[in-house]
Amino acid sequence: MSVHVPLPRRSRGRRSAVLGAAAAAVFAIGLLQPQGTAGADTTAASPQKQLPYRDAKLPTKDRVADLLARMTPAEKIGQMTQAERYDVADDPSLITEYGLGSVLSGGGSTPARNTAEAWADMVDGFQEAALDSRLGIPLLYGVDSVHGHGNLKGATVFPHNIGLGATRDPKLLEKIGHITAEETRASGPQWSFAPCVCVARDDRWGRTYESFGEDPNLARRLETVIDGLQGRRGQLDDPDRVLATAKHYAGDGLTSYDESKAGTGQYPIDQGVDEVSSREFAKLALSPYPTAIHRHKVGSVMPSFSSVDWTEDGLGNPVKMHASKELITDVLKDRMGFDGLVVSDWRAIHQIPGTYEDQVRISVNAGIDLFMEPTADGTGWRDFITTLTGLVDSGAVPMARIDDAVSRILAAKFELGLFEKPMTDRRHIDEIGSPAHRAVARQAVAESQVLLTNKRGTLPLSAKKSPVYVAGSNADNIGNQAGGWTITWQGGSTNDIPGETILDGIEATATKDVTWSEDASAPVPANAAGVVVVGETPYAEGFGDVGGPQWAYDPGDHGVPRPPKTMLLSDADQQAIRTVCAQAKNCTVVVVSGRPMIIPPDLQGQIDALVAAWLPGSEGLGVADTLFGRRPYTGKLPLTWPRTVAQEPINIGDRDYDPLFRFGHGLRTR
């Protein structure tokens, strides 16, 4: 059954001409060359600066066509291959030998010294190896700058997307994207695997905080972050812009909860199946992409790990997104007119049924252009090159599909200006984590705060009239408030980044005495205003699935297991709330989390003011700004806040919609 996309078919634009010219050039050269030399560079003896693809004055389509015609099949397949930093760190000459097109840093994959200078030196070292290849094709380096350049210690760490969804502020999102791009490119990488434009429909999903919310209209409205990352059209080669990635195509936020996987060590919702009708799939999963492509000109798209079962009744045969030619080529590239590059997710093609040869053949023919194939067992990306070479030789993958993929990759590199300036432009390196950048992050934190309840006008607090008593697990923990994708893939409670905790912000704002007691065991002063900061500890992807892996950990935690996620406040946090609310003059509870947390009915009656702070990142001062009235509360819920976990999934428009707080709820203060 075909998928209806809510957009008329449009021209594929600039890169359609690139592909047509490239194919024509390859065909013509193949006719003129002796048998067995097709694709060989017969002008290799000429200085490279005299070759057309080296001429920056020529249109991108002409440069792509010229370079593609000079490439051997092995060089083309190398361009389609992406290794991880650790695959080539000990021997960068592998980049030269295999002609690798791209390298990435996964979450927590950093140089030994995690500084901006060390990052730039590392990327430049890999780039030098790429330039040593026969045709000198530069390397494209990718990184997960999903809320700032979170892998880099010292970078500005913004709120995660769920908090940004609460701001409803497209101009702020563009500004955040620009700062993220500047800090990323000044330290070397030219490509960000962001933003996630998914629509999160079940808060039990461990990636909920990567979404702007449950409404596709909200996702489309905030895609201005792409403009900040890439600049307006023609700005990709500026030293403060990066290639952006719309992900995860499509429907990663629609996966169904699988009760049979709860507590088994498997993910009950992440990387699952979209059991929806084609109409619902188009409305919720596909609809953010035409805007990203046509209005914001996003340069790359990453498919989802999930599968789609999109028959009318949602009971057909699920197909892995990375295997769907209909969705990647027919819908994304042809019907939506996407002319950028499609990059696979982390070893995602390995989830396609069949042998590895089947997985490569199916995914390449489906329309994936660049393959994220890091080493898992000592082979990884090399196996990909060997396997794809055999498939091309046998005719199972046509050369036209290879040429299409490589043309898209080369076009991105030309537009990024990498052929003219392949090495890191470090002019903005001293601005990484600057006061000006952190001021924007602080603004984003303040705008993201959602005031859920405010009995008797408890907030804003007076900085002068009353002492403040602060308790709770997340009041003085910058690792918790930054969340996942910060320094390490999963984040961590012990991860330390430059910035201020929420407690730091309160202490810097209040002029009366501030008492801090995490477990609320210290006496509460008379007439004190109580602030209890509670919530989640960090996680990423399926490790945050409610009912997911029974004991999950990642190497960044040194093998320390974590209990499963539940969306419930810990016993310690609940007790801290009860203690403070019973003794303080008034009681404000601030929830630091990547999704709604369940507030037990008995606590609801004791809490005077309830605030959703989301995962604010490095700037705890922004939380204090709203608590004490330096800035008003303006945030609106980007998703529905349930009464119990049993209500999940719950979304605006559902029948019998009876949440604790509705989508869009948010009280204002002046």
* Residue among 459, 460, 457, 453 nearest 666 (CA): 453
| Contact residues for 386 (Cβ-Cβ < 8 A; gap 6+) | none
Q: Is 84 a catalytic residue?
A: no
| Inter-CA distances, 389 with 73, 357, 406, 480, 497, Å | 8, 11, 14, 46, 44
* Residue among 565, 562, 550 nearest 598 (CA): 565
Rounded Cα distance, 91 and 99, in Å: 14
| Contact residues for 32 (Cβ-Cβ < 8 A; gap 6+) | none
Write the burial class of residue 276 (CB in 10 Å: 0-12 exposed, 13-18 middle, 19+ buried). buried
Backbone angles phi and psi of 133, in degrees to 5:
-70, 170
Q: Is 345 a catalytic residue?
A: yes
List the strands of the sheet with 140-143, edge to edge: 191-192, 140-143, 102-105, 81-84, 371-372
Element (H, E) at 191: strand 191-192
Q: Which is catalytic among the residues 275, 339, 345, 507?
A: 345
| Contact residues for 339 (Cβ-Cβ < 8 A; gap 6+) | 12, 13, 14, 15, 16, 18, 19, 333, 408
Rounded Cα distance, 409 and 18, in Å: 11
Backbone angles phi and psi of 337, in degrees to 5:
75, 30
* Residue among 284, 307, 312, 286 nearest 652 (CA): 284
* Residue among 264, 262, 304 nearest 648 (CA): 262
Rg, C-alpha atoms of the chain:
25
* Residue among 580, 611, 578 nearest 597 (CA): 611
Residue 461's CB: how many other CB atoms inside 10 A? 24
| Inter-CA distances, 484 with 107, 260, 404, 438, 471, Å | 9, 26, 36, 19, 23
Backbone angles phi and psi of 468, in degrees to 5:
-120, 135
Rounded Cα distance, 158 and 470, in Å: 24
Tokens 């999930």: give the residue. 306
Q: Which is catalytic among the residues 541, 545, 557, 648?
A: 541
Residue 652's CB: how many other CB atoms inside 10 A? 15
Tokens 């003059």: give the residue. 585
Please identify every residue annotated as catalytic: 345, 541
